[in-house]
Structure 1
């Protein structure tokens, strides 16, 4: 229990330190006007990849690449594509992603609580209706390709994949830092913030033997709610480990802002947050939670953890997520 809270707090504090929870940072990235989020995201994924390889070599933890999320509708990655698209829609609506909703609510972003409420409703809908029905559809899908990673599909070694990934992330971060406009709201360098997020992966893997991921907390919260509504039978209490992790995320985010006012949500971010109506925020939260469960992960579970293991499903999900978010952002802003 304590390790789950601590690892959640480390992640929440890292998100606030990096500044990627601020609505203007998310919207700026979707508009291709502010490259703060991409720099932090790539630095976090690269650092997480280094952590995964190091812990594997030290025989401390051997995480497995993420499998495809299949719905049995079209292709082996239909759940990743559709779930990523739903998450991208939620990002465009609410200026948030599943991993940043909780820090937003904790530190006082105007629409953070509305988005969190929508994510809770999405978790209830998934736990009580959508999840069971889509799992039935997935049962009819053909067997999954055993080559789960990008480097396996490319026919190269894991070491070669690791070096290529690190080089690509470093080149993209350098290009953004050199040629893109400087970030408006960064308290620390975006890449340094991403490094802190990646190090929170180390805390999570060493302390609780699990990788970062937030979206499971919405489904667990939905299961707990339905359990209470149905009579709270003492012999069937749903698991709540991910919910406890989410509580830690909120505590860590709030604690860092309280300890250092420099990390408080800026006036510019407050204005951007207020530009998201409560109705859109709630709707966005629903899309974020449902999409994250449909794709089997979110910007943290797929983007930081899954990509660091070179999981093909994670690259597909993130491409769908940001592509859809950038496209739809033009309609909502």
Structure 2
């Protein structure tokens, strides 16, 4: 059975909702990914013998941000997102490698190192923002909004506004849009 492209968002949205409901009902866990990264960072730092117990951030919620809880469902969820995306792209035939996106090259040039530094800086800023917001876009956007959480509705609005502002600052008005292409 081949599903028309216009129906796919509805089907996969409904399936995501059912999966979230099952996860919350069976395991008592809502979707989210951002807490995995401070946990992984604390594991990495602890491997070098650094004692994090004196840092307030790692004492919050009885140490839930430390590596002591690894491995856990959230780590598997994060890994599953990457593996699932890869498998989906391979199975659908849409997998492609691309050194740098054309829109990036047009605006910033073809140096891969520039893209790496922008990506690292953006990732750090995004993670700081996610921790300040008390969760990531998947946590707030899927789990929080499904519970009609006011803080999640505000966070999702801010994520969108931040993304739009950042895209405008980095790219200005896209020439691909003006040429009739997709952004």
TM normalised by structure 2 equals: 0.64
Q: Distance in 1 between matches of 2:145 and 2:154?
A: 10
Partner of 2:16: 197
Runs of 5+ unmatched residues, structure 2:
52-65, 109-114, 172-183
Partner of 2:152: 314
CA-CA distance at 1:266 after TM superposition: 5.7
**Where do residues 45-56 of structure 1 align in structure 2 (5 Å cutoff)?**
none
Partner of 2:83: 251
Q: Residues 237 and 299 of structure 1: is their aligned pair in 2 closer, same or farther, counting only changes over 3 Å?
A: closer
1:215 has 2:47 as partner:
no
- The count of aligned residue pairs is 142
Q: Is the 8 A contact 2:39 2:67 kept in 1?
A: no
Partner of 2:59: none
Partner of 1:296: 134
Q: Residues 215 and 255 of structure 1: is their aligned pair in 2 closer, same or farther, counting only changes over 3 Å?
A: same
Instruction: Quote the RMSD (CA, aligned, Å).
Output: 2.9
Identify which of structures 1 and 2 has the higher relative contact order when contacts are C-alpha pairs closer than 8 Å and 6+ apart: 1
Partner of 1:281: 119
Q: 3-state SS of the aligned residue for 1:297?
A: coil
TM normalised by structure 1 equals: 0.38
Q: Distance in 1 between matches of 2:145 and 2:170?
A: 29
CA-CA distance at 1:193 after TM superposition: 3.0
Q: Distance in 2 between matches of 1:272 and 1:192?
A: 31
- Report Cα offsets for 1:214-269 as digits up to 9, x if no partner: 1111111111112212269xxx95212222331232232233333x133x34689x
Q: Is the 8 A contact 1:220 1:243 kept in 2?
A: no
Q: Is the 8 A contact 1:223 1:238 kept in 2?
A: no
Runs of 5+ unmatched residues, structure 1:
1-185
CA-CA distance at 1:315 after TM superposition: 1.1
